[in-house]
Amino acid sequence: MEQLINDDYEYCRKIMEEYSKTFSYAFNSLPEQERKAVWAIYAVCRMIDDSIDEYEDPKRLDAIREDLEHIYDGDSENVNFNSNASVMRAFRHTLKSYPVPLHAFKTLMDYVESDLTMTALETDEELDAYCYGVAGTIGELLTPVLAYEQYYETADKVGIELGKALQITNILRDVGEDFENNRIYLSANRLKEYNVDLKAVYEKGVTQNYIDLWESYAKDADAMYHNALSHLDYFHEDARPIIEVAAQAYREILEVVRKKNYSLHQRAYVSRLKKGQIYRRVMKSYK
């Protein structure tokens, strides 16, 4: 039985390594129990995201919902999981040690599923809710693993804010790609405020109005990064540098977009060399 659960965690580790090398590398320095829990939670979140983003199949998402309900109800020992047995067994084992909140999974699944039909957001309030739903929730899910128990409630807010900052960064990186897929996550209200026609920007090139709009969102993200990184004392000492590495690596994406002149036709990514520099710099600052 012990070998089986170890194999299940290893399966989850490989999922994280495949889809998020930066986070995987950073989290590998956590103590064994914590990093295994992170692998399992990440793998469940990856399955949720892929069910819609890759497969566009609500039935896959329903299977995950059903499996999670069985696990949280405590009646999963004799159940054949309908999604991925290795991931679900690993997560069930994790839940015995950490109070990972079911409501965060439910919210994540609802917002991921909404991507099937959502094409635009009207207000920044809707955007904020979306960023919470697809990314802030992941901060909530990881908080019980990474934070001191007596600070869960406060650390939870920090995790949510950091998750939202990461998602805004994703959106600012992918404006052109999302537009190609008939999705606009920048709110209609703010587009109007800055007098930006995204179709014209995509077809004719970046304007100063678009840059000002983009930078207004980047400023929002930076404020969230700063606030989150100012409250890392709620988290275990060994988790703090890892959280900062993840935040700083994502923050660097904004700089790459700027260096590419805010282009909607070039994918901005942080090089392995730069990620390594960030990792070493942050880790050194904690010694």
Q: Are residues 233 and 267 in the same domain?
A: yes
Are residues 171 and 198 in contact, defined by beta-carbon separation less than 8 angstroms? Answer: no
Instruction: Give tens-digit pLDDT for 104-126.
Output: 999 999 999 999 999 999 999 99
Length of the chain, in residues: 287
Q: Are residues 126 and 196 in the same domain?
A: yes
Instruction: Give tens-digit pLDDT for 214-254.
Output: 999 999 999 999 999 999 999 999 999 999 999 999 999 99
Q: Report d(CA 225, CA 65) in Å as an integer.
A: 31
Query: What band does 21 get if pLDDT is binned at 50, 70 and 90?
Result: confident
Show which of 74, 99, 117 is a domain's final residue.
117
Structural domain of residue 13, as residue ranges?
1-117
Q: Are residues 18 and 155 in the same domain?
A: no
Look over the chain and give the mean of its residue pLDDT values, rounded to a whole number: 95
The model carries a pTM of 0.95
Q: Report d(CA 104, CA 21) in Å as an integer.
A: 24
Total number of domains in the chain: 2
Q: Are residues 139 and 263 in the same domain?
A: yes
Q: Are residues 147 and 279 in the same domain?
A: yes
Residues forming a β-bridge with 120: 184
Task: Write the CATH number for 26.
Answer: 1.10.600.10
